[in-house]
Amino acid sequence: LLNLAKQPDAMTHPDGMQIKITRQEIGQIVGCSRETVGRILKMLEDQNLISAHGKTIVVYGTR
């Protein structure tokens, strides 16, 4: 997610960087299932590192 947040198509957000990507696409990039991606995103949300709603993920503290 940090690498994606540094890509040119990432958008600035008041809390960090915003990326638009599906859980399926993340799974294809890292080689795991969509379900596993969902669980990991939830863990990161619980740790207040990201916010994930649909295809929109905000990675906190990046710019």
pTM: 0.90
**Cα–Cα distance between 45 and 48 in angstroms, integer?**
5
**Cα–Cα distance between 18 and 51 in angstroms, integer?**
9
The predicted-structure confidence for 13-47, as pLDDT tens digits, reads as follows: 999 999 999 999 999 999 999 999 999 999 999 99
Return left, alpha or beta for 35; rule: phi > 0 is left, psi -120 to 50 is alpha, else beta: alpha
The CATH class for the domain spanning 2-49 reads: mainly alpha
Could you give the 3-state DSSP secondary structure of residue 36? Answer: helix
Sheet holding 56-60, edge to edge: 11-13, 16-20, 56-60, 50-53
The predicted-structure confidence for 46-60, as pLDDT tens digits, reads as follows: 999 999 999 999 999
Tokens of 34: 């969509």
